[in-house]
């Protein structure tokens, strides 16, 4: 990343933080395994829908063991509206069994260990690390990808490449909240189909915004 892009990225963080402040994860959870499961359910599903599902789900299944021992067909019925429910149910059950067998029933706290679990990619792992364990993580979802490409600080469709570029220049203590800030901005202002450039706090530094004045 060039010095000019680094400056723009850090300025973007300042602008977003001034506008939104310190944010919390949009997924509802109490225990680390609940956040892990909620994040797994969020693949190709809105956080709003996931929160509706997990409100009942986490009352029915209260522990890792509960998820590990449920019949897949039953869990599929519980999460059907999340989409991709068959593969998600299979991965949740498999993951919880591995956590019991290999991690003493506790959700692991490293990227390598989380990545070894079925259905957990870097984005999900970063969500768990940053929010459940306060280990710096920068999840890159479709909002982060879209906003940072429009801003002009990255030019990539690959989440891992974007994550690497951002975390190389942004202090790690900012990573988790910066991701929350960008995701919130992407939902509220820099939407996919109709970005509200005129009311965007970053309009003056955004490549996309300047081109659409």
User: Does residue 39 share a domain with residue 127?
Assistant: yes
Q: What percent of the chain has pLDDT over 90?
A: 92
Judge if 77 and 147 occupy the same domain.
Answer: no
Of the candidates 163, 18, 194, 16, the one whose C-alpha atom is nearest the C-alpha of residue 208 is 194
Per-chain mean pLDDT for the chain: 94
Classify 23 in phi/psi space as left (phi over 0), alpha (psi -120 to 50) or beta.
Answer: beta
* Distance (Å, whole) CA 21 – CA 105: 35
**Same domain, yes or no, for 127 and 157?**
no
Average pLDDT of the residues in 198-213: 82
For 146-188, write each residue's pLDDT tens digit.
999 999 999 999 999 999 999 999 999 999 999 999 999 999 9
What is the pLDDT, as a whole number, of residue 3? 93
Distance CA 181, CA 177 (A): 6
DSSP state of 212: T
pLDDT band, residue 131 (cuts 50/70/90): very high
- 167 plus 122 within the same structural domain: no
Q: Are residues 122 and 36 in the same domain?
A: yes
Phi-psi label, residue 108: left if phi above 0, alpha if psi -120 to 50, beta otherwise: beta
State mean pLDDT over 79-100: 96
Domain end position, chosen among 132, 154, 170 = 132
| Active-site residue list | 123, 141
Are 70 and 94 within one domain? yes
Same domain, 45 and 126: yes
Neighbours of 208 (CB within 10 A): 18
Residues 91, 175, single domain; the answer is no
**55 in the same domain as 102:** yes
Among residues 33, 183, 28, the alpha carbon closest in space to that of 114 is found at 33
The pLDDT of residue 209: 75
pLDDT at 92: 98
Residue 212 reports pLDDT greater than 70:
no
CA dihedral 23, 28, 34, 38 (to 10 degrees): -90
Residue-level pLDDT at 44: 87
Confidence of residue 15 (pLDDT cuts 50, 70, 90): very high
- My answer on whether 38 and 117 are in the same domain is yes
């Amino acid at each position: 990343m060039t010095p000019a892009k680094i400056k723009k990225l850090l300025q973007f963080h300042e602008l977003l933080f001034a506008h939104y402040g310190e944010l919390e994860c949009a997924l509802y959870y109490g225990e680390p395994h609940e956040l892990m499961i909620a994040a797994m359910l969020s693949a190709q599903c809105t956080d709003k829908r996931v929160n509706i599902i997990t409100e009942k789900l986490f009352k029915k299944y209260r522990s890792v063991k509960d998820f590990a021992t449920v019949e897949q067909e039953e869990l599929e019925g519980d999460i059907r509206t999340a989409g991709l429910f068959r593969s998600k149910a299979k991965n949740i059950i498999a993951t919880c069994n591995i956590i019991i067998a290999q991690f003493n029933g506790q959700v692991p706290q490293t990227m390598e260990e989380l990545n070894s679990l079925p259905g957990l990619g870097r984005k999900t792992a970063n969500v768990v690390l940053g929010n459940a364990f306060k280990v710096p993580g920068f999840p890159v979802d479709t909002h982060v990808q879209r906003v940072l490409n429009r801003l002009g600080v990255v030019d990539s469709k690959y989440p891992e490449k974007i994550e690497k570029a951002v975390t190389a220049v942004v202090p790690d203590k900012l990573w988790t909240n910066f991701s929350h800030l960008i995701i919130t901005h992407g939902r509220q202002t820099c939407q996919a189909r109709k970005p509200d450039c005129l009311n965007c706090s970053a309009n003056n530094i955004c490549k996309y915004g300047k081109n659409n004045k």
